[in-house]
Amino acid sequence: MLTLIESDLNNLTRTDLQNLVSMNDTIEIIRVDGFRLERNSRDVALEQRQKLQDYDDRTVYETITAPDPETPDIEEETQAIENPHPRHKQLEFDRWLDVVEDQARDTKGNERIATKKKEILDSYPPEEVQDAVVVLT
């Protein structure tokens, strides 16, 4: 039986998640308090990938003008920029949509993958996905 430490679940790479889905077996998770849980590996992988999909840190904000303590009524000025190191890239996903595609593929059940992909993408604001190209095979 595979054993994982709960705090390491957030660091599972794309390959790790794919392997857990493929295993579809019972794994043991050791919590911080020492308590041990037995969970299905596929369920754990799908939950972790869903968290990554929901996290979506592709855009970050940088400060252009910092607030001046002498003029507290003037707010800092920021601008949105593309995150050079988003979480999905740190975990071996080239694009955020790769997370969405993998999740759609592995949660489709008896549904058609296109329907599942549409359902997932529709749960995000249109401006988040409008320029994205999604190719499922």
In the DSSP assignment, the letter for residue 105 is: H
Q: Report pTM.
A: 0.72
Q: Which mean pLDDT values do the consecutive 10-residue runs of the chain (137 residues) have? A: 92 96 93 92 95 91 83 83 94 93 80 68 72 52
pLDDT at 123: 78
Write down the pLDDT at residue 120: 75
Residue type, 76: E
d(CA 90, CA 87): 5
Distance CA 56, CA 68 (A): 31
Question: Strands 59-65, 77-82: parallel, antiparallel or unpaired by DSSP?
Answer: antiparallel
Determine the Cα–Cα distance for residues 8 and 17; give it in Å rounded to an integer: 12
3-state class of 82 per DSSP?
strand
Evaluate whether 64 touches 78 at the Cβ level (below 8 Å): yes
Six-digit token pair at 11? 């660091």
> Can you give the pLDDT at residue 129?
63
Give the residue extent of every domain in the chain: 2-129
